[in-house]
Amino acid sequence: MVLVESRHFLLSLICLLKFNQIFPAGGSTLGDLLQALEDYLPVLLGLVKDGSPLQHKVQFVWFNQEDEAEETAVYSAWYEVLSVLHLMAMLSLSQANLLLLPRTSADGCQPKISEESRRSAIDIFLKAAGYLDCSVRHVLPQFPSEFRRNLPVDLAEGVLRALCLHALGQGVDIQLGLAIDSTKATLAVKRRLACEMVKYWQQAQDNLMNLPLANGWGEKHRLFVKWKYIEAKAAAYYYHGLILDEGNTEKSHGMAVAALQAADEYLKESKKACEAFNASVPVSRNPALWGTMKYLFEKIPKDTSSKVRINRDLYSTEKIMETAPTLPDFALALKPDDYQLPIVNASWNEETNKAQLNLEKLKG
């Protein structure tokens, strides 16, 4: 009974989201739904407790976003657990991105994103990554191999891993923006963050490769990751070029010019990737530049032009490298939250005790 009531309440909240009844001040309905999902999981996990046969007695139905099939109906409580964790992650991504919307300050100045909002968004991105990491490490192994292969693409391991890396990539992007705004952050720190961002988005792209992402949303997902990967490479080559330019040799200066030229090319390519993403169905608006990329779109063309002119005045054309130098390889520092599935709701113990008492009465 508790399970039915919990899921009915969830469906009511989801309907509010479906009809865009989200409060603009901060996504209160998103928070309500996340809390309801967190309350629902302990109840749901009672169906799979100790390998209970009940896990295959209830049919769960979910609509798909990126799969060819419009919906999937399965007699599996673990499928419901996986779907709930996926929804919790997606809602968390939405919450974090709502915090990153520029807001007009009390003094009426140009809309901006506060440092507090940016740091809170990082925490939420890590939480989203934690839900997805738990899905991959603890929930997917509960399914037989054949069942896993037949899951809708929304819940495929590659998509879950890509979304986890997506959350971490956005988190590092915000860290880089904070470093750019800080007078204490060195070029080395900024380069490291930018290079880590490249690795997160590259791995996200690799996980989506060869997956049958369909019906518009799937292709849009793929285009988004491609766009962010190219942006990250522009940032990484820019900071790598600035550090190389600090060297005292002709070779380092030549490598710096090549890196900055690569940054400029990737910046132009990222603009095209952004336009392709927004033009794909469902069509979306081309967003105004903000944060890290707003800064880099101003700095990269200017600094590249300046450094190329200076170094070509100093050295012969032969000293300027034609290909960009390899980016440094840094270990990834940002990790998902260590999310653990909650303990089973106490109501299941009460039901079990009632059943045992009734059985004893019948025997008596």
List the chain domain ranges: 156-329
In this structure, what token pair is assigned to residue 205? 């792209």
For residue 62, list its beta bridge partners. Answer: 72
Distance from chain centroid for Cα 167 = 2
Residues 6+ apart with CB under 8 A from 118: 99, 100, 174, 177, 178
| Torsion angles phi and psi, residue 173, rounded to 5 | -60, -45
pLDDT at 289: 84
d(CA 364, CA 360): 6
CATH topology of domain 156-329: 1.25.40
Radius of gyration of the chain (CA): 25
pLDDT at 228: 97
Whose structure tokens read 């999937």? Answer: 72
- The candidate with the shortest Cα–Cα distance to 39, out of 3, 80, 93, is 3
Whose structure tokens read 């049919």? Answer: 59
Residues 6+ apart with CB under 8 A from 255: 241, 244, 321, 325
DSSP 332: -
Please answer whether residues 174 and 118 qualify as being in contact, where contact means their C-beta atoms are separated by less than 8 angstroms.
Answer: yes
Residues 6+ apart with CB under 8 A from 320: 254, 257, 258, 311, 312
Q: Is 63 left (phi over 0), alpha (psi -120 to 50) or beta?
A: beta
Instruction: Tell me how many degrees the CA angle 155-141-77 measures, rounded to the nearest 5.
Output: 65
pTM for this predicted structure: 0.89
Instruction: Give, for all 364 residues of the chain, the pLDDT tens digit.
Output: 455 555 555 555 454 444 344 444 445 678 889 999 999 999 999 999 888 888 999 999 999 999 889 999 999 999 999 999 999 999 999 999 999 988 876 666 677 899 999 999 999 999 999 999 999 999 999 999 999 999 999 999 999 999 999 999 999 999 999 999 999 999 999 999 999 999 999 999 999 998 988 768 999 999 999 999 999 999 999 999 999 999 988 888 889 999 999 999 999 999 999 999 999 999 998 878 888 999 999 999 999 999 888 776 655 555 555 688 999 999 999 999 999 999 999 888 765 545 444 444 444 4
pLDDT at 253: 86
| Torsion angles phi and psi, residue 284, rounded to 5 | -130, 165
Per DSSP, the three-state class of 308 is helix
Half-sphere exposure of 127 (CA within 13 A, CB side): 17
